[in-house]
Amino acid sequence: MKYIKHIYLFFLFLPLLLLSQEKGIIEIQNNSDIARNEAIVAIKWETILSYYPQIDTTNFIVINSSTNKQIPYQLEHKGLPEIQNLLLQLSVKAKSTVRLSIKKGKPNPIEIKTYARFVPERKDDFAWENDKIAFRTYGKAIENTNEDAYGFDVWVKRSTKMVINERYKLGNYHKDNGNGMDYYHVGHSLGAGNMAPYVKDTIRYSANYHGWKVLDNGPLRSSFQLIYDTWNAGGIKVNATKIISLEAGSQLNRVENVYTFEDSKPMPVVVGIIKRPEEGVISLNEQKGIMGYWEPTVKEYGTTGVGVILTTTIKNMLVNKDQLLAVAEVKNDEPIVYYTGAAWDRASKITNSEQWLEYLNRFYKEVKNPLVVKVK
């Protein structure tokens, strides 16, 4: 009878035991010795659904279990109808873990910190930005004009607000109207970290992009695809697509390029940074794949730092009279990923070459030691 009584009591209290064991706890682990401040973390949506199958995408909040405060988030689609990832922005101290949970509720308003768009009113520019820096690249309408340029352009800014639309509307973005400007010169170079085939030791520039698609547009990450028509790269017919994404708080873009060509052998490529005639600070680290440049100061406008971090093996780095170049190889129809971006001293966050090179090295360590996500 005691045995039956114990069984009865067990099943009587089982619902209470199950309720007390909260499921779906999200753990974000920082196993490195670097504190991650306002980092962006991606969790596969299918993982979220496995723990929260009835989640209402219009009515849920993510809570820090220690502080009971909401965590900003974005539902990432990657250009697809279905949600692909839950993006979170949070800080995690070195060698520590942050625990989160998902609950029903109305999320707090999230500040827009990234933005990207096609700009047909300015000769098919494509421009993008975050709360730190802005960029643009050039489209079909500007080809064969004296304004054409091959590489990525930098728009410096000292505001955390989105400024692209305001600058295009004003039309005088080469003047600092209070939040920064465009004084970066690209010309016939790779500019601030574009990539191109490097066949027979010669850069084989494509035409500008002719197709585009916005994949996600903020508030924490914006990403888009650029499509380039077939061109002759030193005897090799090449097609290319580039997927560029920029996260809140980052000085650097993530760039994923796919080259398609009819050759079983890998094709050499280069990532380049335009070099100014005056003296600047150059740093080349082939072992880590970090290429940094602190430009000579322009008296009226300040100083721009540009940097590239490659995640693939580097064949070599070199400096010619026009550009800093990092040489790598790509295989047919296989992605190559790297990071490129810039900083401006008058934004008052990174104000000298030492700080810029320190930022690039820290970013490299963060890429090599990503935050670990566990849901249980």
**263: confidence class by pLDDT, cuts 50, 70, 90:** confident
Please tell me the predicted confidence (pLDDT) of residue 249.
Answer: 98
The answer, yes or no, to whether residue 332 has pLDDT greater than 70, is yes
Please tell me the predicted confidence (pLDDT) of residue 13.
Answer: 43
The answer, yes or no, to whether residue 3 has pLDDT greater than 60, is no
Please tell me the predicted confidence (pLDDT) of residue 12.
Answer: 45
Average the pLDDT over each of 20-34, 286-300, 333-347 and give the range with the smallest value: 20-34
Please tell me the predicted confidence (pLDDT) of residue 24.
Answer: 81
Average pLDDT over residues 67-72: 97
Please tell me the predicted confidence (pLDDT) of residue 22.
Answer: 52
pLDDT mean across residues, the chain: 93
- Output the CATH code of domain 23-107: 2.60.40.1180
Cα(224)–Cα(123) distance, rounded to whole angstroms? Answer: 18
DSSP 8-state class, residue 204: -
Please tell me the predicted confidence (pLDDT) of residue 330.
Answer: 97
Please tell me the predicted confidence (pLDDT) of residue 11.
Answer: 45
The residues spanned by each domain of the chain are 23-107, 114-368
- In this prediction the pTM is 0.93
Please tell me the predicted confidence (pLDDT) of residue 5.
Answer: 46
Instruction: Look at the domain 114-368 and name its fold.
Output: Beta-galactosidase; Chain A, domain 5 (2.70.98)
Average pLDDT over residues 76-93: 98
Please tell me the predicted confidence (pLDDT) of residue 31.
Answer: 97
Over the range 311-337, which residues count as b (16 or more CB within 10 Å of their CB) and which as e?
eeebeebeeeebbbbbbbebeeeeebe
Give the whole-number percent of the chain exceeding pLDDT 90.
92
Average pLDDT over residues 65-82: 97
Average pLDDT over residues 254-265: 94
pLDDT digits (tens, 9 = 90+) for 8-24: 444 444 443 333 345 68
